[in-house]
Chain A
Amino acid sequence: MFLEFVEGPLWYGSVVIFLIGVAIRLIEVFAKGTRPDFAAARGLGWPGAMRTLVSRSWTAKGFTKGATFHLVAGYLFHIGLFVLLLFAAPHVVFIEERILGFGWTPAPHWLFILAAELAFAGLMLLWLRRAMHPVLRRISTFDDHAGAILTFVVMLTGCMALLMSHDSLRAIHMLTVCLLLIYFPFSRLMHAFTFVISRSYTGAAMARKGVRA
């Protein structure tokens, strides 16, 4: 009964809130507009936007030392998370049956375990850094911790549901997923979408000045 609720009305409701919430957030950004740039540009903006969109996936030259921890932990978490999200066998089935109507070959069990370990390790390292580093302690807000904890709980319940194949665990996982979907648009998790806008704005502005950003 509970499983039917979380996989039925709650799931659909959460998806609607997620989609509308993300749309509102993006509209909130773009509706503010940008100031026109009348300065004679050295070059086009859009190639710079494209370049920065890619280049910020790595550290700036000469800056690797200061960013190594964040880079490694960040990639561990994000790669692990996306492998889990897109290639965990139950997710592939769920996407095929409930969302897209088609699926793909799921990751083998060993890869699922590896991805889960990477994701957990990355997330915990990032969160420990947030809890211990003076700079991170100074700038972190409730939202930073809430987003990390919620993501952790979603991953944990997901792994438990997969490994133990129990309906109640699956229901709990779906419940946390729904909570994450509802929380997502109103939180810092929005960076998953808005980083494209930020990198593009900066890359374009700097390219107009003739600087590779």
Chain B
Amino acid sequence: MVAVQTEHDFERGIAVLSQQIDAKVAAYFSSCVHCGLCAEACLFYTETGDARYTPIYKVEPMRRLWQREHTFWGRLGKALGFGRDLTEEDFANWQEMTYDSCTLCGRCSMVCPVGNDIAYMIRRQREAFAASGYSPEGLQAASTRALEIGSPMGLTLKALEAQIVHVERATGLTVPLDVQGADYMALLSSMEVINFPEYIESLVRIFDAAGVSWTLSRKAFEATNSGIQIGDSNIARELVGRVVDAAEGLGVKYVISPECGHAFTAIRWDGPNLIGRPYRFGVVHILELLDQLRVGGRLQTEGLDDRRLTYHDPCQIARRGGVLNQPRNLLRMVAPDYPDMADTGRMNWCCGGGGGVSANEGAEALRLQAFKRKKRQLEALGVDTLVTACANCRIVIEEGLEHYEMDIQVAGLTELLAEHLVTKPGPSPE
């Protein structure tokens, strides 16, 4: 029975931390020259000036354990009584650095001169902190809800079905449920269902116009994966497994990851490794599918958007997910001359709320401070609308804009396309 570790169990944490030190981690620690450049890439350092938020310093517990238990010098030193072991106090002190001040955005991993993937290292360290109960209460609660109810926000199937009724009324179209043999099985994030149901409406309208064979699953509609955020592979595996079972049960060809960054990482990149085998279906992000439909002439828009807008790359979709050109191709359909931010694409600055930070109430003040980076990016462009493709980014940015009293609208890219959708059928599908 998979459960969230809520009680402190330091010994377990040390054991799990040791298990996380694979060849990559060992090579990364062996290579690090402590140059500190990763700090300049991290918005939690640049916006606070607090050296504790230097990315490589966030994995200091794992470095100490590696040096002490996994190197000749460290083992020799320990045998001779030199140095000290990690303590519970170390775990308590580093919980903030492991969770509150890292969104796993991976920007630090793009600038390290020796090529260390520090986001990967922090993700590994989270395994130990989650296993030992040194994780934020907000993430523990979200993970518990995901395991017990099926959604980190406590969204039930009944609530989704109620929302579907609204969507069907608004669109005049039917939302397909549990259609055996459909080409695509769409996943949703709770945040979309609860906060941005217009995303579902947009999907329904676009898929209808493009003639896409698709379905939702009653067994597994939730795409988000708290296990990835808290760093517990057992939880992540359980949640991914539900999607895999549903998709393979329905016999779909593809699963569609919604406009949600870490959900894409969970189902597209981490999922097969969590269950220990390749899927019997493909995974596409909704933006990848929409761009495929655009190229095939099945997604057609009319009119241009006259707002001054730009695009925010969700880190897990762009830098950590490889979906970089598709959103730009799509956005140019309705805003051909939109300006990108100075640091964009694979070097984009995070919204500050990814990697579970937005679900961590204790990190709220720090998150809003970190948002100053996005604030400056937006002010530099002078836009009045920000388009993005992640419900979590969207809500974090909306909160940041409200906090700093900025008059900028935030829109989802799929919705924007749906607003301009040509509903008359295009050329026949290939």
What's the nearest-Cβ distance from chain A to residue B261, in Å? 13
- Interchain nearest-CB distance for A22 vs B (Å): 11
State whether B111 touches A201 (Cβ < 8 A): no
Q: Does B376 contact A (CB under 8 A)?
A: no
Residues of B within 8 A of A28 (CB): 26, 70-72
Binding stretch for chain B, among A84-92, A105-113, A171-179, A186-194:
A186-194
The answer to whether A39 and B319 have CB atoms under 8 Å apart is no
Name the interface size band of chain B.
35 or more
| A contact patch SS | helix
Of A36, A63, A135, A137, most B-chain CB atoms within 10 Å: A135
Q: Which of B28, B39, B73, B113 contacts A74 (CB 8 A)?
A: B113
Contacts A32-B21, A33-B23, A42-B322 given; indicate if A139 touches B278 (C-beta within 8 A): no
Q: How distant is the Cα of A210 from the Cα of B324 in the complex, in angstroms?
A: 9
Q: Are B31 and A135 interface neighbours, CB within 8 A?
A: no
CA–CA, A59 to B275, complex, Å? 37
Cβ of A14: which chain B residues have Cβ within 8 Å of it? none
Complex CA–CA separation, A190 to B33 (angstroms): 9
B403 contact set on A, CB distance < 8 A: none
**Count of A-B contacts judged by CB separation below 8 Å:** 180
Whole-angstrom distance between the Cβ of B36 and the nearest chain A Cβ = 4
Partner of B26, one of A32, A133, A139: A32
- In the complex, how many residues of chain A place their beta carbon closer than 8 angstroms to a beta carbon of chain B? 61
Q: Mark A18-41, 1 if CB is under 8 A from B, else 0.
A: 000100110011111111111110
Q: Choose among B26, B111, B273, B278 the residue that contacts A59 (Cβ–Cβ < 8 A).
A: B111
Given known pairs A56-B112, A198-B116, the reply for A139 and B72 (CB within 8 Å) is no
Q: Kindly provide the distance from the CB of B122 to the nearest chain A CB, expressed in whole angstroms.
A: 14
The 3 closest A-B pairs by CB, nearest first: A210-B322, A199-B115, A66-B40
Interface residues in chain B, defined as those with a beta carbon under 8 Å from any beta carbon in chain A: 21-28, 30-37, 39-41, 45, 49, 51-52, 54, 56-57, 60, 70-73, 109-117, 120, 268-273, 275-279, 282-283, 319-322, 324, 342-343, 346-347
Name 11 A/B residue pairs within 8 A (Cβ), A-sorted.
Answer: A21-B72, A32-B22, A33-B23, A34-B23, A37-B273, A134-B49, A135-B54, A137-B51, A138-B52, A195-B113, A213-B110
